[in-house]
């Protein structure tokens, strides 16, 4: 796999939802983007843009992560959007809990470690994906909440450890974003109403809203920003 001299952003989970919105925002800003998805169906959903390529990747696989990083000539930006949540109380079962942690938290660390050398050469930056549940718990998804809390602390830890290598590490914490995952909530007025009433901007977020925040954190405008967890929530946490 070869890339042009344009900066390269590797976006895990970049084929749908928040990841897809981020991949598209980066492509429109001049990055060459390699967006990954877990399955063929996810890869097929990759946003159509001349600067976006796609590949399958399971972030729980050491071998697959090593291979995709090795295939990149350079990595200027790593955006970790790959993640999962298991509903219906499944995360109270230990195997489901373990898998959620493995994907969301360990998978993020696995990607960061694998890409570190190339990011250091490029003096690049990492943006991880945290959540509102980085800041408060969930009675329904303990694995997801624990993993996203961990992503927040991992982000701060790597920022402190890797600043000497010229790598900035930040995270975005999306609020209620309209995606295929949240579509049932968006379309259910009774369930959507309390979400909107808690959100001062009184609307659902769009994946491009998160993409804009990621662009800022990767840009030179944020050159003195590292270790930050930036809420992208329409003011949800402010209330």
pLDDT tens, residue by residue, 105-150? 999 999 999 999 999 999 999 999 999 999 999 999 999 999 999 9
Of the chain, the percentage scoring pLDDT greater than 90 comes to 92
Instruction: List the structure tokens of 27.
Output: 């492509």
pLDDT tens, residue by residue, 65-74? 999 999 999 9
pLDDT surpassing 80 at residue 179: yes
**Residue 80 forms part of a structural domain:** yes
pTM of the entire predicted model? 0.95
**Residue 62 forms part of a structural domain:** yes
Higher pLDDT, 3 or 119: 119
**Residue 137 forms part of a structural domain:** yes
**Residue 102 forms part of a structural domain:** yes
Which structural domain range is residue 116 located in? 8-238
**Residue 26 forms part of a structural domain:** yes
pLDDT surpassing 70 at residue 11: yes
Strand order in the sheet with 229-232: 52-56, 32-37, 8-12, 77-80, 125-129, 168-174, 229-232
Q: Read off the CATH number of the domain in which 230 is found.
A: 3.40.50.720
**Residue 1 forms part of a structural domain:** no
Q: What is the pLDDT of residue 4?
A: 54
Active-site residue (options: 31, 140, 144, 236): 144
**Residue 2 forms part of a structural domain:** no
Total structural domains within the chain: 1
Phi, psi at residue 174, to the nearest 5°? -65, 145
**Residue 216 forms part of a structural domain:** yes
Phi, psi at residue 125, to the nearest 5°? -140, 155
For residue 31, indicate whether it is catalytic.
no
- Give the Cα separation of 2 and 32 in Å (integer): 11
Of the CA atoms within 13 Å of residue 203, those in its CB half-sphere come to: 6
Contact 126, 169 (CB under 8 A): yes
User: pLDDT-derived band of residue 181, with 50, 70 and 90 as boundaries?
Assistant: confident
Of the chain, the percentage scoring pLDDT greater than 70 comes to 98
Closest CA relative to residue 154, chosen from 207, 121, 107, 221: 107
């Amino acid at each position: 796999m070869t890339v042009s001299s344009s900066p390269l952003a590797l976006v895990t989970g970049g084929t749908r939802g928040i990841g897809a919105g981020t991949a598209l925002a980066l492509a429109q800003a001049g990055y060459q983007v390699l967006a990954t998805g877990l399955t063929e169906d996810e890869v097929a959903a990759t946003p159509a843009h001349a600067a976006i390529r796609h590949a399958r990747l399971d972030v729980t696989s050491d071998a697959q992560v090593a291979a995709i990083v090795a295939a990149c000539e350079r990595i200027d930006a790593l955006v970790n959007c790959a993640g999962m949540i298991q509903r219906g109380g499944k995360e109270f079962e230990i195997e489901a809990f373990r898998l959620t942690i493995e994907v969301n938290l360990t998978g993020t660390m696995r990607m960061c470690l694998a890409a570190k050398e190339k990011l250091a050469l490029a003096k690049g930056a990492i943006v991880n994906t945290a959540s509102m549940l980085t800041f408060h718990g969930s009675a329904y998804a303990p694995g997801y909440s624990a993993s996203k809390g961990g992503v927040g602390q991992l982000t701060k830890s790597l920022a402190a450890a890797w600043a000497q290598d010229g790598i900035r590490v930040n995270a975005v914490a999306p609020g209620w974003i309209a995606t295929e995952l949240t579509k049932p909530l968006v379309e259910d007025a009774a369930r959507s109403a309390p979400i909107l009433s808690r959100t001062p901007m009184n609307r659902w977020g769009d994946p491009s809203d998160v993409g804009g925040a990621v662009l800022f954190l990767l840009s030179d405008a944020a050159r003195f920003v590292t270790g930050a967890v930036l809420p992208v929530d329409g003011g949800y946490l402010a209330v």
